[in-house]
Structure 1
Amino acid sequence: MRSVFVAGIGVASFACSVASAQEPARTSDAEVLAADDIIVTGRAQRLYRAEETTVGKAAEDPLNIPQALQVINSDLFVDQGARDATDIYRNISGVSFFSYAGVTFRGFRQDQSFYDGQRGNPFIGFSVPQLFNIERVEVLKGPAGLFFGPGSPGGIINYVSKTPSDQAALRTVVTGGNYDRIGISSEATGRIDRDGVVTYRIGGFYESMDPYRRNTQNKSLIGDVGLSIRTNPGGKLTLQATTYDSQLQANRLRGVLVDDAGNFLTSIRWNANERSDFLDLTSTAYQARYATSIGEQVTFDAGARYFKATERQKYHEPRGLSPTNPDLVQREFRDQIRPVDGLSFMANATARVDVLGMEHKFQTGADWYDETSVLQSRILRAGVLPLSLSNPAYGRSDTDAARAAALPYTTTDTRTKRYGVYLQDQISVTDALLLVGGVRYDRFEDGVTTSTAGRVTALSNYRDGDATLRGGAVFKPRQNVSLYASWSQSFEPQAAASQSTDAGGPFAPVTGNQIEGGVKSDLFNGRVQANAAVYRIVRSNILQADPALPPVNGQDQLRPIGKVTSKGFEFDLATDVTPDWVLLVNYGYNDARITGTVAGQSITNAVGDRFANAPRHKVGFWTRYQVAAIDSAFAFGGEHVSSRTSLSGQRVRPYTIFDASITKRLGFAELLLRVDNIFDRVYAASGFTAQSGHFPGEPRTFLAELRTRF
């Protein structure tokens, strides 16, 4: 497998010579400048801006969407040296890190991601999405049920893949840094035939480092290939295949234990895992997308996506402090295999039609998703040695894996199906007023089978359906300013195990309803984009045990009693202060509270009346100034996250960190030098449980990238 990735990098480099041998397409001087020069005067102009988004399943101007959204493009990835999804959260108001690939989104925990508008995240379980083959990240805030079906009311994250281009190009990056970081990546794109009917993209990525946590080593490999075929005027078929291989030694990583005030009890380098522990992910995704225009008024697109992934874990799970010795952390050993595969289809169409003198943009679509997710787990608790916080002695527990192998697997087999259809109408009442209304209906089927040593111990199945609505209005006093108000819905199926008739089921899904208002702007020829939004989300029908009712066949009676209300404000600014100076600032305020519950009972991910890892305040900024006279750019950024609460009610202390970088042009190449956490601040990026501690943030790290592009 590894040789395939290394070969991919070599093939990408070779492909450049093939591309450069073809007759180049005619391009304007501006296009040549953009392709050949990396740092030029004026590059800051509209550098990180998005004039169009597909987060609503069809291409649209963000000013015409009555809901808050953000688009993070590859220019920002490059300038910030971003590697994975966690590197870009600081650029998104209302979003903060929770755990692994999970985030807190407008107060709610959210673990689901979409790729090119479809379900099928190849980074299953406890792996984090990588950005090497991603062109941009689209973030739709608040309930997104109309376009994406069941999901959290906080919002969705959609990763848009890089695709082949008819402009011949090659980009190679060599990476180095502290913690023995070393890596190389290369990607090439261009025409296969003279007329550009068929174009290609091929790329490979490899990086290795020994992070600051004891015993750890991370290796990541990505191979990506794509082919685009122009099938008809205005029509294109794109085929892509991407494979991932992630090897994480001494994982899966938990946190470092803290006291109730949020202070780490030992060095953040501490790790409950032995050097022989690991988390390995192998994953492959295949995708086909077709898009075409039918005349000037109709567009159509369809897609199919299949992925197959397996995550293998053998690791030591911390189980809290020993009751007899506060320096010892109790542990258990877990051997787990997580095979997952998913298949999805979607189709969308838009049509512009004049009715009674008003233009209607009708949009309709359907999607279908089928996933099988299996967890094979065996847990060894007896005879696992504890580990000292102050002086951990590793290597004495390497036999735990062999002892666990004698235990039977407990297998949880989860089958999930989702399919839905939607219709939306966007009405241009006048040039200044847009009205939007839409409806969607979903069906879902969930089944969970649990067995131990081949004997079924639990079986549950549930199917149901639900409708979601969305309405809004956009008023444009000027073409580059929009005021909007909207109401949107989402829903999440209840857990299949909770639908038993003995527990009082079946139950209607958990629902989310949001009211939002805001302003968006694109001023001074795009030099200033300033957006602000206020919102209120109510999440209802959360199941809780009803103490007023007696158990039936040993099961507590559940009722949809729980309710949560999330209120907040967000502000985002992207501006060119001068032609060479760009500034990004985002701020989010959120207050998520439990507003309905059974006395004495809590709600998942909540502590008291508040939610875990939900900061009230979060600020992020990034500014970049280029000096053309010396072919250099200087950047400075930072993030502040206010105090939070962990899942166990322990305090997660607030933190503020800063980063800086210098980019220097060197003829045909450029050099990036970057330092993160400049002042080497010790902080918790997120809280988890008292047994496994808080997730520490990275200490001061250095990154160097030598980039070439042709």
Structure 2
Amino acid sequence: MKNSLLFICLLCISNISMAQTGQLKGTIKDQNGKSIEFINVLIEDTQFGTLTDKEGKFNFENVPTGHYSITFSSFAYSSLRKEVDILAHQTSNMDIVLSESQMELQTVEILGRAETSYKNTNSFIGTKSSTPLREVPQSIGYVTKELALDQGAYTVNDIVKNISGVNQYTFYNDITIRGHRIQGQDISGNLVNGMRAFTSFWKQQLIPHIERVEVIKGPASALFGNASAGGTINRVTKKPLTQTRQSISSTVGSFNTFRILGDFTGPMTEDKTLLYRLNLGYENSGSFRDLQYAKNLVVAPSFSFLPSEKTRLNFDIVYQKSDGRLDRGQAVFGDGDLYSVPITKSLNAANDYLKEESINATISLRHEFTDQLSFNSVYMRSNYAEDLLEHRGNNKFANFGDGSLDYEKVEMRVGIRKRDWSNNNFSNYFNYDVSTGSIDHKVLLGYDYFQQVLHPGGSQLQARGYLTADKTGSINSYNPANKDLYALDANGNPIPVVEHFDLTDPFANKLRDLSKYIYSSNVYAQSMLHSHGVYIQEQASIGKFKVLLGLRQEFYTDVLNYKGDSEEDVTQNALIPRVGLVYSVTPNINLYGTYVQGYQPQSATVINDPNAGGPFDPLTSELKEIGAKSDWFEGRLSATIAMYYLTEKGALYNANEPGNPDLLIQTGKDLSKGFELDLAGKITDNWSLIANYAYNEATIEESDDENLVGRQKPNAPKHAGNLWTKYIFSEGSFKGLGFGIGANFVTERFGSLGSTAEPPVFPAYEIFDAAVYYKMNKFQIQMNINNVFNKTHWVGGYDYIRAFPGAPRNVMTTVSYTF
């Protein structure tokens, strides 16, 4: 009886409790009607809190009846508070519209990007402040981490095809933008979070820790001083988020590829004043190229401290370690038939290696003095170390005794080298927002300092050329007129210091006995360069017009014989203007025009190198560009059209002279003019698209060598285009299943501009890629098939000893888990 009474009492209490609860659900969208994912929804003074899903929906069940305040917050959108009554046995519905936050809290990109599509809305690289891309009067291309993941990309070179006017140049960390080459160690074209980081020239940059890669087309000297004419590449690292997100993924596939990645972020304190993010990446992969492999490690922690609404501090580190071999490309027979030697064959020896290590440490601060005045300060320290042993071609074929060439054998050289560099960057600027009548002003005043040092201990052992007659020395090149000076074999041919590479020998990639070589040594003298600049920028809004005016005074100094007895400063200065105008035709279409000057001093070490053939003038450039930017499909898809006229004076090219690989030639004037189109975003919530096309006529207009005038610049295709689209089924029997398909094409390109012969021509190609995805709850599996039809192609190159073939058909499978 007692048990029965107890059961009845509990049942009554349960019924009373259930009678006093209700349900709250709703949907959150932006002002364009697009559903917003990862919005914080909190019922104040309770334990109820959640994040919206990809459809912008949230749901709370068994909420006690009563009157509540509900807050909706995200750093990308303005916070909102709503009141609601929860009634017993009833469902309360809320349809919320959030507007994008207008706060400048990401001016130094302290916090992570909230968007999760192929589209990126705001830019920091274009104006050094958070500005909608549609309002920047210059073309800016980008690739988001979402697109990189969908394409199975792992390096910057993997994704440049998605940006108009940007193409690979070689296997190395170098590309062309509008026909102008950007090299990895070139501080004028490579940025990390808007700062100049020292990167490898030889290895392509990894992107597992990168939020997006963006390219500002044309010179950016008014903002960054020493800037390449074609454009500037900026890699934005992933920053902490206020929401907890964790994911791991693993990739296996062709060429013995194995990769594993981890991405973890969220608050470290209950009040979310301290946030963290940790990105980890490891790769152990082979290659379609003989002897090539890659062992890479990336560790990238980041922390954000938000003590108040007015002060924000970020600290992040990116550590990278790489082990592999330096691949200088494919050599083919001297008749120039690119198909005469398999694309797999490299010139390496089995005991070659390339070991690299780098670390970037950045601290950034933003403080708001008032609602109108804020201060930003960023410091980055960048270190890079290189340890190299390589067998490589000497840029020519082997000599017979009569001076003719053996077109089936490559003359070789060996280099053993160690070098260490460090960069220091310091950037400070004020933002001041003020209105004068009907004109709104955003004024930026700043000062930058940059320093690069080559540390002591850098040195190289080098073996090349042919043995002297007594076999105790070497001569760099062979001259049949002085045949008696050389050691000759039984056939009367000169004996090389380093055995020639026989392109017909299947065992040519063997271990080499380094003790048999005759070396010359070279010690790299310590060097230092530094620059600093003062700049001012005004962004004025006048009705439908937005005017951008910028001016920078740059001071550049190269220190020769740094810390030596004859230390000497070589200084170069420039005053650099920038003018831009944007006109809003409709709420979603803007027209723009811009005029920018560029400045890029030649390094004093190059200017004073007797082997280079200098001295050389600095590079100067000038960009005139007009275009249009717009958003479509309720803001989901962005489009940019640009027409440009870009001139550069003073470009340096390798003369491609046999036996003298350091000789450079300088052109008088280069001209790039063309048209570009970029599309990125979503057509529907489950249909993503990115497409681009570029027409680029990049020619040499003036040169002391008349044979160069009128030639298309190296590795600069006149036509290039790319398409990638992905569709995911969101309901029905195929829910979670998706497909991706893409294609890109490049027309023929010229190699090096050596004036002694016609430059090599690398043929046009079309490549097709495909992918299939399946997502179930927190798991996703995807398979990427690259180069579906196994097209033999070349991404670029210098000559017929250094051609760079693209990868044949390969398959990569990735499994991801989000928790």
TM-score range, shorter chain: 0.7 to 0.9
Alpha-carbon distance in structure 2 between the residues aligned to 1:224 and 1:613 = 34
Is 1:398–2:528 an aligned residue pair? no
- Contact 2:633/2:683 (CA < 8 Å) preserved in 1? no
The within-5 A match list for 1:162-561 is 162-249=238-325, 251-257=326-332, 263-319=338-394, 320-324=396-400, 325-373=406-454, 376-381=459-464, 382-394=496-508, 397-400=511-514, 402-403=515-516, 407-430=520-543, 432-449=544-561, 461-497=569-605, 509-541=618-650
1:411, 1:450 within 8 Å by CA — same for their partners in 2?
Answer: no
Q: Secondary structure at the match of 2:138?
A: coil
Helix, strand or coil: the match of 2:147?
Answer: helix
Equivalent residue for 1:9?
A: none
1:638 to 715, 721, 743: 743
Partner of 1:570: 676
Output aligned runs, 1:651-670, within 5 Å: 651-670=761-780
CA contact (8 A) 1:218 1:247 kept: yes
Q: Cα gap change, 1:371/1:395 in structure 2, threshold over 3 Å: closer, same or farther? A: same
* Paired amino acid for 1:682: T
- Aligned counterpart in structure 2 of residue 616 of structure 1, from 718, 723, 728: 718
What's the RMSD between the two structures over aligned residues? 3.0
Say whether the 8 Å CA contact 2:644–2:673 is kept in structure 1.
yes
SS of 1:322's partner is strand
For the residue of structure 2 that corresponds to 1:163, the secondary structure is coil
In 2: Cα distance, 1:261 partner to 1:642 partner: 18
The answer (yes or no) to whether the contact 2:649–2:670 under 8 Å persists in 1 is yes
Q: Give the Cα–Cα distance (whole angstroms) in 2 for the partners of residues 345 and 34 of structure 1.
A: 43
Alpha-carbon deviation of 1:264?
Answer: 3.1
Is residue 2:105 matched to residue 1:72?
Answer: no
Of 134, 137, 146, the match for 1:63? 134
Identity in percent: 26
Q: State the Cα deviation string for residues 208-264 of structure 1 (Å, max 9, x = none).
A: 111111122211111111221113214221111221111114x24333336666623
The structure-2 alpha-carbon separation of the partners of 1:299 and 1:612, relative to structure 1 and needing over 3 Å to count, comes to: same
Q: Is the 8 A contact 2:381 2:422 kept in 1?
A: yes
Residue 131 of structure 1 aligns to which amino acid in structure 2?
I
- Once the two structures are superposed, the pairs formed by residues 119-198 of structure 1 within 5 Å of their partners are 119-121=196-198, 123-198=199-274
8 Å CA contact 1:46–1:527 kept in 2: the answer is no
Q: Distance in 2 between matches of 1:107 and 1:406?
A: 38
Tell me the residue number matched to 1:683.
793
Distance across 2 between alignment mates of 1:651 and 1:230: 55
Aligned counterpart for 2:192 among listed residues 102, 115, 119: 115
Q: Distance in 2 between matches of 1:588 and 1:448?
A: 41
Task: Give the 3 Å change call, closer, same or farther, for CA 62–499 of structure 1 in structure 2.
Answer: same
**TM-score of the superposition, structure 2-length normalised?**
0.75
In structure 2, distance between residues paired with 1:405 and 1:236: 58
Q: Which segments of 5 or more consecutive residues in structure 1 lack a partner in the other structure?
A: 1-22, 37-44, 545-557
Alpha-carbon distance between aligned partners in 1 of 2:518 and 2:302, rounded to the nearest angstrom = 41
Structure 2 counterpart of 1:594, one-letter code:
I
CA distance in 2, matches of 1:541, 1:393: 44
What is the one-letter code of the residue matched to 1:398?
A: R
Report the alpha carbon displacement of residue 620 of structure 1 after superposing the two structures with TM: 0.8
Once residues 292 and 258 of structure 1 are traced to their aligned partners in structure 2, the CA distance between those partners, rounded to angstroms, is 62
* 2-structure distance, mates of 1:173, 1:24: 32
| Alignment partners' CA distance in 1, 2:608 and 2:213 | 39
Give the secondary structure class of the aligned counterpart of 1:146.
helix
Change in Cα spacing, 1:93 to 1:560, as seen in structure 2 (3 Å) is closer
How far apart, in 2, do the equivalents of 1:32 and 1:643 lie?
45
Q: Write the deviation string for residues 405-429 of structure 1: whole angstroms up to 9, x where unpaired.
A: 9643332543211211211111112
TM-score, scaled relative to structure 1: 0.86
Q: Tell me the CA shift for residue 672 of structure 1.
A: 1.0
- Whether the aligned pair in 2 keeps the contact of 1:74 and 1:134 (CA below 8 Å) is yes
Aligned twin of 1:29: 52
Rate the CA distance shift 1:34–1:272 in 2: closer, same or farther, 3 A: farther
Code of the aligned partner of 2:677: F
Quick one: which amino acid aligns to residue 490 of structure 1? G
SS for the counterpart of 1:78 is: helix
Larger Rg: 1 or 2?
A: 2
Question: What is the CA–CA distance in structure 1 between the aligned matches of 2:57 and 2:601, rounded to whole Å?
Answer: 48
Deviation at 1:665, TM superposition (A): 1.1
The alpha-carbon distance between structure 1 residues 460 and 678, as it changes in their structure 2 partners (threshold 3 A), is: farther
Q: Which amino acid in the other structure matches residue 812 of structure 2? A: L
Q: What secondary structure sits across from 1:90 in the alignment?
A: helix
Aligned to 1:3: none
Can you list the C-alpha shifts for 1:16-45, whole angstroms capped at 9, x where unaligned? xxxxxxx99934434797999xxxxxxxx9
Whether the 8 Å CA contact 2:217–2:230 is kept in 1: the answer is: yes
Say whether the 8 Å CA contact 1:143–1:152 is kept in structure 2. Answer: yes
Q: Show CA shifts across 1:134-188 (max 9, x none).
A: 1111211011111111121111011111112221221111111021111212121
Deviations 1:250-301 (A, max 9, x none): x243333366666232101101001210111111111111123344333332
| Equivalence for 2:477 | none
| Deviation larger for 336-345 or 404-413 | 404-413
Note closer, same or farther for the CA distance 1:572–1:598 as it changes in structure 2 (3 Å cut). same
Match for 1:531: what amino acid?
T
Distance (whole Å) between structure 1 residues aligned to residue 58 and residue 597 of structure 2: 43
Counterpart residue identity of residue 193, structure 2 = D
- CA–CA distance in structure 1, aligned partners of residues 202 and 616 of structure 2: 30
Paired residue type of 1:62: L
SS of alignment partner, residue 408 of structure 1? strand
Maintained 8 Å contact 2:334/2:397:
no
- SS of the equivalent of 2:134 reads helix
Task: Return the structure number with greater relative CO, CA threshold 8 A, min gap 6.
Answer: 1
Are the aligned partners of 1:568 and 1:591 in contact in 2 as well (CA < 8 Å)? Answer: yes
Distance 2:393 2:667 in 1: 34
